[in-house]
Amino acid sequence: MTTSAPIADGRTIGLAHYASRAVLETVLRRYGATFQQLVALRLVAVADAPVERGALVAQVADALKSGPEDIREVVAELIARGLVADDASHLTATESGRDLQERTAAETAAISARIYAGIPAEDLAAAGRVLAVVTERADAELAALTP
């Protein structure tokens, strides 16, 4: 009996997303961090200059399809934990914040390498192109549905 490869649809994309996210969140729990915190922290930690708070909130809210109030709370959590320093309206990663971002990035990079090992580059490129189109179209549909 032969089985064919699954078609890339909402279900298969969702299953891959949830499996990958569960791996990441398992790693983050060991550091007492959440996915939302890591997304925001990474943007601040890799920035060449202090990040304007409103711009960070908008960028993370857009990426995570979340409300800005939720992301403002995430930023407040990062500040309270001493991972991000607040200078009025600008944010910078503290040494602890950069360390956390670097450690989680290194740990998840090793796991990702194992997950993607052996998948041909041309398959990854095709999947990337398809996912970019799906993301673009889903963002357009979301914009049309949002009052």
Task: Write the DSSP string, 105-142.
Answer: HHHHHHHHHHHHTT--HHHHHHHHHHHHHHHHHHHHHH
Residue with tokens 């399809």: 65
| Confidence (pTM) | 0.88
Q: Which two tokens stand for residue 131?
A: 């996912």
Stretch 8-17: mean pLDDT, rounded?
Answer: 93
91-106 pLDDT, tens digit each: 999 999 999 999 999 9
17-34 pLDDT, tens digit each: 999 999 999 999 999 999
* Assigned fold of 33-117: Arc Repressor Mutant, subunit A (1.10.10)
Instruction: Tell me the domain boundaries of the chain.
Output: 33-117
Q: Which of 51, 36, 57 is nearest to 86 (CA)?
A: 51
Stretch 60-76: mean pLDDT, rounded?
Answer: 96
Q: Which of 74, 115, 104 is nearest to 91 (CA)?
A: 74
pLDDT of residue 56 exceeding 70, the answer is yes
Q: DSSP characters for 39-88?
A: HHHHHHHT-SSPEEHHHHHHHHHHHHT--HHHHHHHHHHHHHTTSEEEET
Band of pLDDT at residue 131, cut at 50, 70 and 90: very high
Band of pLDDT at residue 2, cut at 50, 70 and 90: low
d(CA 114, CA 27) in angstroms, rounded, equals 15
